[in-house]
Amino acid sequence: LLRDSSLQEISTSSARMSALQLAVHMDMPHLVRILCRHVVNDVGRNSSRDSPPLIMAANSGYNECLEVLLASFGTSSLLTTRDSLGNTALHCCCRQEVNGANTLHFLLDFISSAGSSVLFKNLSSKNHEQQTPLHVACQNGRDNVVDVFLQQVSVSLLSKLLVLQDSQQQTPLLAAVAAGSTDIVMSLLMWRGNNYICSTPTKPCPLAWAVRSRNVDMVQL
C-alpha cells in the first residue's frame, strides 16, 4: 500500500490507527463492512491521539461509513461514544459544512427508531462546553443543519432543546446571535412564534446578546 504515492501522506498518522480506524479515515465503506464482521470492541475505541471510528466518520462527513458502522452493530447506544472534547457523532455532524445535514437526517432516523426517550437523551447530550448538538449547529452557522432539526424533531422536543444553556449561558438561539448567524436566528424566531412558545422570554435577552456581540445587523434583526 505504501508504494502508492496517494497514501504516503497518511503513513505517519496511520501507524497509530487500527485497521478499522484507517478504513474509515480513508472513506472506504466496503472495507469497513468487512472489518466490522470481525472487530467488535474497536468501533468504540478512543486512544490518546485518535477518535473512535464512529466519531471519525461523523467528523469527516463520511455518511456511507457511518451507516455501515451503525448497521453492523445495530445499537443506538453506540451514539454515546465521545471524542476527547465530549462530542458525540451528533455534535460532530452538526459542525460539518458539506454533509452535515444529510448525516443528521440519517442519524435522527436511526435514533428515532429506538423511541422518543432515546432520541431526547441523544439530542440533549452535552459536550465539555455543555453544548448540545443544536448549540454546535447554531454556533457554527449551519443553517441547513438547523433546518433538519426544525423539520424532523417534534415541537415538544424542540421546545425543550431550545431552552438548554451551555457553559456561557447561551441557548441555541443566543449561540446563533453571538455567531452572527442571521438565517438561523430568523428561522428560530419564526419557529418559536409559529409554535407559541415565546411567552417565556429567554434570559439573557437575545437583543442584549446582540449588542454584546457588537453586531449592528443582528441588533436590527
List pLDDT tens digits, range 118-161.
Answer: 899 999 999 999 999 999 999 999 999 999 999 999 999 999 99
> pTM, whole model, 2 decimals?
0.82
Q: At what angle do helices 182-194 and 172-179 cross, to 10 degrees?
A: 150
**Burial (CB count within 10 angstroms: exposed 0-12, middle 13-18, buried 19+), residue 3:** exposed
List pLDDT tens digits, range 86-119. Answer: 999 999 999 988 889 999 998 998 888 878 888 9
Place of cell 468487512: 34
Highest mean pLDDT among 48-52, 96-100, 135-139, 191-195 belongs to 135-139
The C-alpha cell at 165 is 444553556
pLDDT band for position 14 (cuts 50, 70, 90): low
DSSP-based three-state secondary structure for 115: coil
The C-alpha cell at 185 is 436566528
Q: Are 172 and 135 in contact (CB under 8 A)?
A: yes
> Residue 205 gets which letter from DSSP?
-
Confidence at residue 152, expressed as pLDDT on a 0 to 100 scale? 94
Q: What is the C-alpha to C-alpha distance for residues 57 and 44, in angstroms, rounded to an integer?
A: 12
Confidence at residue 6, expressed as pLDDT on a 0 to 100 scale? 45
Q: Are 179 and 185 in contact (CB under 8 A)?
A: no
End-to-end CA distance of the chain: 55
Q: Are 91 and 136 in contact (CB under 8 A)?
A: yes
Confidence at residue 7, expressed as pLDDT on a 0 to 100 scale? 44
pLDDT band for position 52 (cuts 50, 70, 90): confident
**Nearest Cα to 191, choosing from 221, 149, 135?**
149
The C-alpha cell at 164 is 438548554
CA triplet 209, 185, 173: central angle to 5 degrees? 55
Q: What is the C-alpha to C-alpha distance for residues 94 and 146, in angstroms, rounded to an integer?
A: 8
